[in-house]
Amino acid sequence: MHVASLDTAHAHLRSGNANGIIHDDNLRGMFESAVGDHEPLMDVIRTDWLITGPHGSSPEASAHFRARITVTFEDRSEADFLVTPDYPIARYIVGSARTADGVRLADDRCSGTAVR
């Protein structure tokens, strides 16, 4: 997912980068919210096939669904987020931020929403 596709009232997110996510809890939280609210992604997560599975209804099917979303920034750096139907926002995946050259960025202390 390219950062420009995020539908957010926080226009400065579109000029952010992976380095900013690992050093700024507030910025990371805004990205987690924006990625989790991405309408086309939410449409996919809510589809009956994902909720019930291809062979009929399963009350646990949606609980097992997980999507790893890679956000690519304007500077070509990237960070990954986890999306699940049972959590209201996406969660940054600790250790996933990397430069345009693929070099992993060292995470600062992460917020409680980040996952390992």
Predicted confidence band of residue 53 (pLDDT cuts 50, 70, 90): low
pTM of the predicted protein model: 0.75
- Would you kindly state where each structural domain of the chain is located, as residue ranges? 3-92
Q: Please tell me the distance from the alpha carbon of residue 49 to that of residue 54, in angstroms, as a whole number.
A: 6
> How far apart, in Å, do the first and last CA atoms of the chain sit?
21
Q: Give the other-Cβ count within 10 Å of 2's Cβ.
A: 11
Q: Please tell me the distance from the alpha carbon of residue 95 to that of residue 1, in angstroms, as a whole number.
A: 18
Residue 74 has pLDDT above 80, yes or no: yes
Q: Averaged over 77-82, what is the pLDDT?
A: 93
Predicted pLDDT at 49: 47
Residue 101 has pLDDT above 90, yes or no: yes
Quote the DSSP letter at residue 40: H
- CA dist 24 → 4, 11, 64 (Å): 20, 17, 30
Predicted pLDDT at 75: 93
SS3 state of residue 104: strand
